[in-house]
Structure 1
């Protein structure tokens, strides 16, 4: 993501609803992003023992430019959504790939087009960066998200995803 965390690139999406603004989160946005991140963790029923842990996690990712964090602003509703992307490498294509690890829209922002705007901005930036593809996962029962992803050109792969928990904690699928 080199340098993108410091940029305040903005995309306006009028195609999917109101004049949605998607922007890069910076250090000044950590509290806002963390509130959405907590909503995301609650959605996936992740039990967070330390209430400050989501904020600290995002603050570190942003400060170290380890992820791209995008925020969606909807007129009249405020900042209602966020996405977090990690850079990865694809051995099968010998190129860079991105992992859309987190995408969440608060209940107050649902059905506004904020999720679609975030997803499209991730894809736009990935294309501009020359990325081979964007990968994501979602829960089996999250059919609303699956419908959005498939409508935007994501294809369900035939690979099984495995996870071996080394932390002793239960991990929710994101």
Structure 2
């Protein structure tokens, strides 16, 4: 067994063991149209964390409202007793040409500072994976900043493996939702 395969197996065993030890106090639920304001507040925190400059303060809310209304993404919220709704995750459905099946992209996962170290991030991540398995999805892909070592530790502890691919992006400027 290669070193990477052994690490994957060890990570999966850790995931299987820790899956039964999730913090039962954290409640993860799917966001609906009534949750847009709450989700948008967290989304703005996420954008601030990644230093994204948003000119229109209503744009994050409008973006999430449109994704939820059109069922274009799965938005999950994490509620922690005594802290409120402290985290969110947003997943986009995609296709994998290499596996000839569906895949999910965990595009956003964020826990507000007041909810960190409560298990909310782990609970969100596990719920994404649970729903992906139930949907028969081939896998879940995510990316994070090189210096976000806290998130990287969580992802790796939950069985994610760093790929050896380079990610490229070609910025086409500010596209509006009408442009696609």
Question: Shared fold (TM-score greater than 0.5)?
Answer: yes
Normalized per residue, the structure richer in helix is: 2
Which aligned segments of 4 or more residues in structure 1 are displaced greater than 6 angstroms? 1-14, 169-174
Q: How much is the aligned-residue C-alpha RMSD, in angstroms?
A: 8.4
Contact (CA 8 Å) 2:23, 2:123: kept in 1 or not? no
Contact (CA 8 Å) 1:70, 1:118: kept in 2 or not? yes
Unaligned residue ranges in structure 2 (runs of 5+)? 7-11
Separation in 2, partners of 1:9, 1:150:
10
* Secondary structure class of the residue paired with 1:12: helix
Cα separation, partners in 2 of 1:9 and 1:167, compared to 1, 3 Å: farther
Cα separation, partners in 2 of 1:79 and 1:5, compared to 1, 3 Å: farther
Match of 1:145 among 148, 151, 158: 151
Between structure 1 and structure 2, the one with the greater Rg is: 2
Matched residue count: 174
TM-score by length of structure 1 reads 0.88
**How many angstroms does 1:87 deviate by?**
0.2
**How many angstroms does 1:167 deviate by?**
1.1
CA shift digits 1:45-85 (9 cap, x unpaired) = 00000000000000000000000000000000000000000
TM-score by length of structure 2 reads 0.85
**Bigger CA drift: 87-96 or 2-11?**
2-11
Unaligned residue ranges in structure 1 (runs of 5+)? none
